[in-house]
Structure 1
Amino acid sequence: MIRGILLLLLGTTGFSLIQCISNDVYFKMFSQQAPPDDPCYNKAHEPRACIPDFVNAAYDAPVVASSTCGSSGAQRYCEYQDHERSCHTCDMADPLRSFPARSLTDLNNSNNVTCWRSEPVTGSGDNVTLTLSLGKKFELTYVILQLCPHAPRPDSMVIYKSTDHGLSWQPFQFFSSQCRRLFGRPARQSTGRHNEHEARCSDVTRPLVSRIAFSTLEGRPSSRDLDSSPVLQDWVTATDIRVVFHRLQRPDPQALLSLEAGGAADLASGKYSVPLTNGPAGNNIEANLGGDVATSGSGLHYAISDFSVGGRCKCNGHASKCSTDASGQLNCECSHNTAGRDCERCKPFHFDRPWARATAKEANECKECGKCRVSTKRLNLNKFCKRDYAIMAKVIGRDTSSEAVSREAQRRAMDPDVADYEMDQVQPGSARSPITGEYEFQAADYPNPNPRGSEMERFDLQIQAVFKRSRPGESSGAGNVYGMPNTTLKRGPMTWIIPTKDLECRCPKIRVNRSYLILGRDSEAPPGYLGIGPHSIVIEWKEDWYRRMKRFQRRARTCA
């Protein structure tokens, strides 16, 4: 009776008893799991280089074949083994007898080999191509083609790569038994740093080899330090891979002679290859025994069971993972304040440090824009007095830095007077750069005085009013980098050069077809230009400021 009462009480009060268990005891009943570490940061949350996992980038990726057996109706293809030939029928309309291109990138199972097969090759047929799209930029380590059992082997082929999603192509690797004759390249070529970004040619005709493999970095001197070699970084980068088959190896002659009487006459002529229609003159090699071309009755074709591309999603060391977005597009999950599909730029308002690829030595994290060194809000008489010039100008156009700098460098190379003046005025280490604040000057990089190589933007101005300009000998920047009084300031056109980093940080925020009040020092730009420096003031113009500037003009005569 008592035992029954205890059980009843326990049953009715069990929930209360559980509530009485302390939280510490309760949570110890479950295994505690620490949050996973972020590969892009160490335990002190300091940034470090990180890379996505190594994958077969070709898996389940789309492949476009220029020729597929049975695509135009039932066709015959043949295999050769032990001096014997066996022929079969392919037909894309019959799933059991179809050999589509999707078989190249499906799950590779040695117990259930699936193959892509081309149409039987003929002398008049074009080169057979396979084009693989990776979806985004990858940094590749190898490309492997697994041959179908008993299928004729390729004798000559080329692997191409594209870095712009198929808009342009460049050779990645050549394969041939006659490299020099067919492709104009030696079969064995020494590789140095001067040519490590060039495609080479290899002999692929070794017997008993069931696959064709290409290593992107093998034998290239800079491969051990890829982080410091932009040339090899570009070399291993690809968005698409294309394989072009030019020739087939000649099957065993005894197998060819075992054909039926109807097809023996064609194959007895010995044609077994595809002509190189786009090759150099004289390189149309057709190994033949009699001189005629083969017919599709021979059943000779290309057959590949697996197309593998090993590599990593390209994220420039700023992401440890790539994932697909809502539209199905593959993108890097960027860290280090970077952005873009490949983490190839800094995210908005993080331009205080120029973007760079992360390396094992330096993560090169993008830094948030700091305090704007260009005044964009306030102006008083004291500031007016301490500037060499004050103008009102309208921004009428914008030019990109690379073209503008290139054109200006060419102009200066043809104008020795200006260059001689600057070299006389400035000695390395003697003056502070108006852009970086560092004591360094590189005349060769003109008009970009930033020794770090930051890009410059060029704007075309129309000066509408000049409120102040320095006179010879009165420039407040006479001891600085340039120091030439900007006596050329007058109403009319003028070029304004601003570091890209400052524009991206909106220091200042410039818009075309807007007018601005601009004050600065002559030392902040080369003669004939306006620039941006620590003493610059840029304020969007307001019509009621004209009287104010005229008042400053009059009062500035008493400036100390």
Structure 2
Amino acid sequence: MYLSRFLSLHALWVTVSSVMQHYPSVWGHYDVCKTQIYTEEGKIWDYMACQPEARDMIKYVKVTLDPPDITCGDPPETFCAMGNPYMCNNECDATTNELAHPPELMFDLEGRHPSTFWQSTTWKDYPKPLQVNITLSWNKTIELTDNIVITFESGRPDQMILEKSLDYGRTWQPYQYYATDCLDAFHMDPKSVKDLSQHTVLEIICTEEYSTGYMTNSKIIHFEIKDRFAFFAGPRLHNMASLYGQLDTTKKLRDFFTITDLRIRLLRPATGEIYVDEQHLARYFYAISDIRVYGRCKCNLHATGCKEENKKLFCECEHNTTGPDCGKCKKNYQGRPWSPGSYLPIPKGTANICIPSISSIGNCNCNPFGSVHDRCNDTGFCECKEGTSGTKCDKCLLGYIWHSLGCQPNVCDKELLQCQNGGTCLKNMRCQCPPAYTGILCEKLKCERDPGGCSQNSGNMAVSHGPLLPLTALLGVTGLFIF
């Protein structure tokens, strides 16, 4: 009884372990484009939807500023410590490394240390607005997978807009507005992401949550990607399959999280008060120590890899697709209109591979003896005859051998179908029998076919090498030939 219970518990543990090992696939990670499976026809490719792994996209970004001379230090100038108008002995000097604050320090790889940051000129031209456009470009379509996080070394701006582009900066649309007073700055009622729902997740809002001036922990601004995911995947993102299903069926939702460029529009620096202190304008400026953008190369579910060449990102396309985003079929593979892969059905999705064009079908070179047809079928593959495998149907499966007319079952071999009674297997095609024996495997005495019968010594010239097989068993071997 105890053994039975132990075995039952062990079986349950194995089952649970197996489920847990495969549970992430239920989420739909889509980290494999194809796999080989075994069928009656041999090994074939099973294609699946696939996408690259999410990564820190700041490593590949190009940054531009408008106006281009907005960075402090040329000429050198002094500025006040954050929140203290009476400590104005800090210096910005572009000619000295220790005192320079160039744009690349917004996302330098120095451990993202807060002492390194980009800084603008001070608001010395007040009341003229101090405004800056910071454009982040990838020259590649990106799918966001985590919150956009901007860390200010100065106070967070009183007014700011985060914008996105889907056409490499030709047109822009707002992602989110930030202000200390949304109604005054943008004529919008303040909202937070928590006020949204599945039906309003694409609404562009103005938030006052991140725009306080010099308060404690007031350096970070978020654009909440994960909070929007949570409307579909649950608060802990435990149901990613539901999110992927929504992304697959709702194009506007998918496009919402897709960008080629981001633009941070800084419209008014942090003042910490209603009025600007015109006696201490050196206290007003912008400074950013870190920007984080996590996402993946958009490859239309046709690639798991994305590589950088000449400072540009390219998808490593599968499924007979090509282009920076795997956005078109390869030459000679336009047998049907290109289509992106599909997240559905979960967890493998649908690859929607490109298939050969009709004009090129007579070319992918199917072996005329090993394939049913001398050209590919409508999926772009050779259709192999029984016992044949390989992309061109030019190889034989185990138990078959290539004859002049293709793969035929082995008549004999050194393991299963051995020639008997001293017979020798010739090229797997036939048994060369001793004079007294005949049959496919030399299993019969010749005299059995003689009306006079067999003499007592008629088989002495040969030695038996194994038990005789019934004739019905021998004839059950598909396609055997009698020589």
Q: Under a length normalisation based on structure 2, what TM-score does the superposition of the two structures give?
A: 0.56
Structure 1 position 235 matched with structure 2 position 256: yes
Deviation at 1:299, TM superposition (A): 3.1
Query: 2: distance between equivalents of 1:338 and 1:295?
Result: 62
Aligned to 1:216: 225
Please, which of 108, 111, 121 is the counterpart of residue 119 of structure 1? 121
Structure 1 position 199 matched with structure 2 position 204: yes
1:199/1:246 Cα in 2 relative to 1: closer, same or farther (>3 Å)?
same
Query: 2: distance between equivalents of 1:63 and 1:238?
Result: 15
Give, as a single letter, the amino acid of the residue that structure 2 aligns with 1:347. K
Give, as a single letter, the amino acid of the residue that structure 2 aligns with 1:124. K
Once the two structures are aligned, what percentage of the paired residues are identical?
27
Structure 1 position 309 matched with structure 2 position 293: yes
Query: 2: distance between equivalents of 1:119 and 1:215?
Result: 29
1:168/1:250 Cα in 2 relative to 1: closer, same or farther (>3 Å)?
same
Aligned to 2:432: none
Please, which of 91, 97, 102 is the counterpart of residue 99 of structure 2? 97
1:295/1:124 Cα in 2 relative to 1: closer, same or farther (>3 Å)?
farther
Deviation at 1:81, TM superposition (A): 5.2
Structure 1 position 350 matched with structure 2 position 333: yes
How is 1:413-452 mapped onto 2 (pairs within 5 angstroms)?
Answer: none
Is the contact between residue 119 and residue 286 of structure 2 (CA under 8 Å) also seen in structure 1? yes
Is the contact between residue 58 and residue 309 of structure 1 (CA under 8 Å) also seen in structure 2? yes
Is the contact between residue 202 and residue 256 of structure 2 (CA under 8 Å) also seen in structure 1? yes
Query: 2: distance between equivalents of 1:213 and 1:301?
Result: 20
What do the CA deviations read for 1:263-290 (whole angstroms, capped 9, x no partner)? xxxxxxxxx7xxxxxxxxxxxxxx327x
What do the CA deviations read for 1:402-445 (whole angstroms, capped 9, x no partner)? xxxxxxxxxxxxxxxxxxxxxxxxxxxxxxxxxxxxxxxxxxxx
For the residue of structure 2 that corresponds to 1:85, the secondary structure is coil
Deviation at 1:243, TM superposition (A): 0.4
For the residue of structure 2 that corresponds to 1:218, the secondary structure is helix
For the residue of structure 2 that corresponds to 1:181, the secondary structure is helix
Query: 2: distance between equivalents of 1:208 and 1:196?
Result: 30
For the residue of structure 2 that corresponds to 1:130, the secondary structure is strand
Q: Structure 1 regions of 5+ residues with no counterpart? A: 1-36, 252-271, 273-286, 374-560
Deviation at 1:126, TM superposition (A): 4.2
Aligned to 2:188: 185
Is the contact between residue 154 and residue 248 of structure 1 (CA under 8 Å) also seen in structure 2? yes
For the residue of structure 2 that corresponds to 1:59, the secondary structure is helix
Query: 1: distance between equivalents of 2:279 and 2:102?
Result: 23
Please, which of 119, 138, 143 is the counterpart of residue 139 of structure 1? 143
Query: 2: distance between equivalents of 1:114 and 1:356?
Result: 45
Deviation at 1:358, TM superposition (A): 1.6
Is the contact between residue 52 and residue 303 of structure 2 (CA under 8 Å) also seen in structure 1? yes
Deviation at 1:313, TM superposition (A): 0.8
Is the contact between residue 174 and residue 202 of structure 1 (CA under 8 Å) also seen in structure 2? yes
How many pairs does the alignment contain? Answer: 298
Aligned to 1:320: 304
1:112/1:152 Cα in 2 relative to 1: closer, same or farther (>3 Å)?
closer
What do the CA deviations read for 1:164-204 (whole angstroms, capped 9, x no partner)? 21111111111112112211222127545665334222121
For the residue of structure 2 that corresponds to 1:242, the secondary structure is strand
For the residue of structure 1 that corresponds to 2:105, the secondary structure is helix
For the residue of structure 1 that corresponds to 2:64, the secondary structure is strand
Q: Structure 2 regions of 5+ residues with no counterpart? A: 1-29, 38-44, 234-242, 361-483
Query: 1: distance between equivalents of 2:136 and 2:253?
Result: 22
Deviation at 1:55, TM superposition (A): 1.3
How is 1:9-28 mapped onto 2 (pairs within 5 angstroms)?
Answer: none
Deviation at 1:114, TM superposition (A): 0.8
Query: 2: distance between equivalents of 1:60 and 1:230?
Result: 26
Aligned to 1:23: none
Deviation at 1:371, TM superposition (A): 4.3
Aligned to 1:63: 63
1:152/1:372 Cα in 2 relative to 1: closer, same or farther (>3 Å)?
closer
What do the CA deviations read for 1:218-258 (whole angstroms, capped 9, x no partner)? 3365672322221121111111111011223334xxxxxxx
Query: 2: distance between equivalents of 1:249 and 1:53?
Result: 37
